[in-house]
Amino acid sequence: MSNADIEELWIDAWNQLYTLRGERRDVVCLLPDGQRCTFEDCLGWLQDSVYAGYQVHSAEVWYQGRKAIQVSRSEPT
């Protein structure tokens, strides 16, 4: 996979995260191990994961009574 392909993948992942966040500025992000992190840290985690060769996923979930974003990754197929 070329660097351009990798950059396109993490940009797509970032765009999806921004879409899930919407207008909320205080959104909680959850890493696969359940650790809470800031939105900015979540963006960095996605980028690092893509550059390490993982496929990344994000989804809106309920966490402590409010919407949050859960990110995960899987080995490339």
Which residues of the chain have a pLDDT value below 70?
77
Confidence (pLDDT) at 72: 96
Confidence (pLDDT) at 6: 87
CB atoms within 10 A of CB 12: 13
In angstroms, rounded to a whole number, what is the distance separating the alpha carbons of residues 33 and 66?
19
Q: Residue 35 gets which letter from DSSP?
A: -
Phi, psi (degrees; rounded to nearest 5) at 54: -85, 155
SS3 57: strand
pLDDT digits (tens, 9 = 90+) for 12-31: 999 999 999 999 888 999 99
Beta bridge partners of 63: 66
This prediction has a pTM of 0.86
Confidence (pLDDT) at 3: 85
Q: Is the dihedral of CA 39, 42, 48, 50 positive or negative?
A: negative
Confidence (pLDDT) at 4: 86
